[in-house]
Amino acid sequence: MKKDLTSIADLNREEIITLLDEAEALKQQVQQARVVELARGKMGVLIFEKPSLRTRVTFERALHQLGATSTYLSPTDIGLGTREGVSDIARNLSRWVDVIIARVFEHEKVTGLAASASIPVINALSDTEHPCQILADLLTIRQHHGTLDGVTIAWTGDGNNVCHSLLLAGAILGLKVNIATPRGFEPNNAIVQKGKGYAEKSGAKLNLTYDPCAAVQDADFIYTDVWASMGQESEAEQRRQIFRAYQVNRQLLARAKPTTKVLHCLPAHRGEEITDDVLDGPQSVVLDQAENRLHVQRALLARLLKNG
């Protein structure tokens, strides 16, 4: 496994499956012992340019359950790339701590930290990708479907960072991924082409469409996210009009199989990209997704800190 996780594509198929297996095993160990001393005496730093509930709590909790400690740096604490250069920050932190967990706007800040740091750097979200979220999603899918083999996932909404990581992960693992977006909101073409390259080797099927009904027809899982991500608030009203047909509601769910499950990485804008009756309904597995952030990140930290 590489030193860093800046993209889900930093992992191959075997490494993804191994991490999921280790996440399940560590979950059982922690339930029995509360703390597993795999990273005792080590420390992680969380650099967050964006607010967070799940990401901050699960990373800090995971570090503590491994016997490590953590410290949190807000945007005003360091001014990543403004008050002080990314490379200078990375080199300084490498002298004091053992892992950098970065939640940022520009993806280049994550890759810049990774390039200059001698310690592992984890992308806890950037505008381009969200690899830790997708690891949690894959664990959730495997728990509910029994296997990742033959799974079909439908994405409906914006071709955003979560969509990018889902597309790449599906391509690496050989899954079928149907992505439905409005025109002009497709996933980044460079990501799509990269995914197609992986798909040629794995046998994955990547389908891009503008029709959400067609995307969900054969889906085992339907996945959506907010229509306006952090930093896009000024576009929110315009996007509500454009994305209306992509809402995950009872009507769209009826187009899928009765056994289809619903995914959402949260936070949700209830009544926009998803309705209350679906988000809180029997086909929703979103709270399992949220819990699994803790389990996959704990496994990821254990692996990276052990390697370090």
Known catalytic residues? 103, 130, 133, 225, 265, 293
Sort 150 into a burial class: Cβ within 10 Å, 0-12 / 13-18 / 19+: exposed
* CA distance linking residue 308 with residue 290, whole number of Å: 27
Structure token digits, residue 221: 């899982």
The one-letter amino acid code at 140 reads T
* CA distance linking residue 207 with residue 228, whole number of Å: 23
In DSSP notation, 23-41 reads HHHHHHHHHHHS---SSTT
* CA distance linking residue 264 with residue 273, whole number of Å: 10
Query: Residue 125 is inside which H or E element, if any?
Result: strand 121-125
Q: Which of 165, 169, 171, 202 shows the shortest CA–CA distance to 187?
A: 165
CB 206 within 8 A of CB 196: yes
Residue with tokens 């080590």: 42
* CA distance linking residue 123 with residue 259, whole number of Å: 33
The one-letter amino acid code at 110 reads V
CB 125 within 8 A of CB 101: no
